[in-house]
Structure 1
Amino acid sequence: MRIALFITCFNDTMFPQTGKAVVKLLERLGHTVRFPQAQTCCGQMHFNTGYRVEALPMVRRFAEVFADYEAIVTPSGSCAGMVREHHTTLAAQYGDARLQSRVRDVALKVCELSEFLVDVLGVTDVGAYFPHRVTYHPTCHSLRMLRVGDRPLRLLRAVKGIDLVELPEADSCCGFGGTFALKNPDVSHAMLADKVRAVQGTGAEVLCAGDNSCLMHIAGGLGRLRTGVGARHLAEILAATEGDVA
């Protein structure tokens, strides 16, 4: 299977270790992962702030760069949702029939990491080892747009050594929402405070999520309060083995 890593511009810029973890994990499972260096932003920031026409060149580029791959894996529910749900909308609204067809074909091959592992590869036990107390936050895009359901939890439950604890009111938004946190800081801060209290209440050592954007937001709140709670992307926990230093 020809697998491509869609790392997303956010991860590439701020959390490259997450992309490396995806590659390490999939290679351990026996797959070769390609990294198309011509990839750029998926256009989510532009789309969400009303610059839809400006996002169209990114939609077109995405379809061109990833056209030849059988599977496109990304460690981001929000960017996977953008490609699968909104690229076709933009192509239909501002593109031509040929572009719509290309975009639709490529979008169907995009998988968020947990979807790819559980649904495409058919695995839940990926040979991971992470001896820590962990709680999981399901991000809004993965929960509501992609509907990944319990796939991440099924993967985490199979990790050796983990003490996985339930996060109260897990389906509540953390308050990030991209530019929402900038445009509505007071509301965002109140939502974050609720999420931080819930995380602290679990006694977890590590907070896990499938989107580094939300994870960064919550980790910032936890860090400012000096809670000592760490943050790890799902890919990083699944890539960890007994030979790694925790």
Structure 2
Amino acid sequence: MKVELFVPCFIDQMYPETAFNTIKILERVGCEVIYNPEQTCCGQPAYNAGFWDEAKVVGEKFLNDFSEEHYIVAPSASCVGMIKNGYNDLFTNSVEHNRCRGIQRNMYELSDFLVEVVKRDYFGAELVGTAVYHDSCSALRECKIKDQPRQLLANVGGLELVEMKDQETCCGFGGTFAVKFEGISSAMAEQKVQHALDVKADYIISTDASCLLQLKAYIDKHQLPIRTLHLVDVLTSGWANI
């Protein structure tokens, strides 16, 4: 199976190892990974800020950078949600309408792809400790992803997955929301981290680097005894011991 990889901006610039780990997982399940080095952004920052004309220009490039022939996988529910939903606002009844629909049908967040398409949920990963899974707004509400990451994490050796209070509440990032409403955003991050600490979690795990960046900033500022990890990095942890 050939799979095209889309690497989101946050991961490309701040968590490149997560991108490489995504390739490792896809190759482990037998996929031939295709990476187009000309790819850039999906257009979500401009779209969320209300600059739809600018977002459409970036979106047109995305549609040209990927094909309708293969699955397209990204380690980010946020970007997948933008392409599957936001592109409806940008390209419905446009000259790119049909091509956009083809791309949307092929677009998958990694955990959804592994569980629902490849039908694999065990990768020999090992991570000792207690973790909470943070349901990002994009994963839960836009991509309808809830059970897939938990199914994958349940098969990580040594990891105890627990639920926390207000499990489905936003972390406060929300793209430009964190900039426009800094005080509210920080308070939401504080609440999310505190709920994780209340259940004695060692890790906060999510499908979205943007959420993890938001939570890590609060954790680092207050020097709290908890770490943030992307789901991809958890699924490839401990592989050297296999």
TM-score tier, shorter chain, comes to over 0.9
Pairing of 1:16-165 with structure 2 (within 5 A): 16-92=16-92, 95-96=94-95, 99-165=96-162
Q: Does residue 155 of structure 2 align to residue 170 of structure 1?
A: no
- Residue ranges of structure 2 left out of the alignment (5+ in a row): none
**Distance across 2 between alignment mates of 1:177 and 1:68:** 30
The residue type paired with residue 12 of structure 2 is D
The residue type paired with residue 148 of structure 1 is I
Bigger shift: residues 55-64 or 179-188: 55-64
Deviations along 1:58-93, whole A, 9 cap, x unmatched?
221111111154111101111000001111320126
How many correspondences in the alignment?
Answer: 242
**Distance across 2 between alignment mates of 1:196 and 1:127:** 28
Percent pairwise identity = 35
Deviations along 1:118-160, whole A, 9 cap, x unmatched?
1110111222222222211110110111110211001100111
Using structure 2 for the length normalisation, give the TM-score: 0.95
Secondary structure, counterpart of 2:99 in structure 1: helix
Corresponding residue of 2:229: 232
Deviation of the 1:107 alpha carbon: 1.3
Q: Does residue 209 of structure 2 align to residue 212 of structure 1?
A: yes
Secondary structure, counterpart of 1:228 in structure 2: coil
Secondary structure, counterpart of 2:158 in structure 1: coil
Does the aligned pair in 2 maintain the 1:223–1:229 contact within 8 Å? no
**Distance across 2 between alignment mates of 1:110 and 1:204:** 32
Deviations along 1:24-48, whole A, 9 cap, x unmatched?
1111222221111111110001111
Deviations along 1:104-124, whole A, 9 cap, x unmatched?
101110100111001110111
Secondary structure, counterpart of 1:203 in structure 2: coil
Query: In structure 2, which of residues 188, 193, 196 is the aligned counterpart of residue 191 of structure 1?
Result: 188
**Distance across 2 between alignment mates of 1:242 and 1:17:** 14
The residue type paired with residue 157 of structure 1 is A
**Distance across 1 between alignment mates of 2:220 and 2:99:** 44
The residue type paired with residue 201 of structure 1 is D
Deviation of the 1:228 alpha carbon: 2.1
In 2 relative to 1, CA 242–19 (structure 1 residues): closer, same or farther, beyond 3 Å?
Answer: closer
Secondary structure, counterpart of 1:55 in structure 2: helix
Using structure 1 for the length normalisation, give the TM-score: 0.94
Does the aligned pair in 1 maintain the 2:124–2:239 contact within 8 Å? no
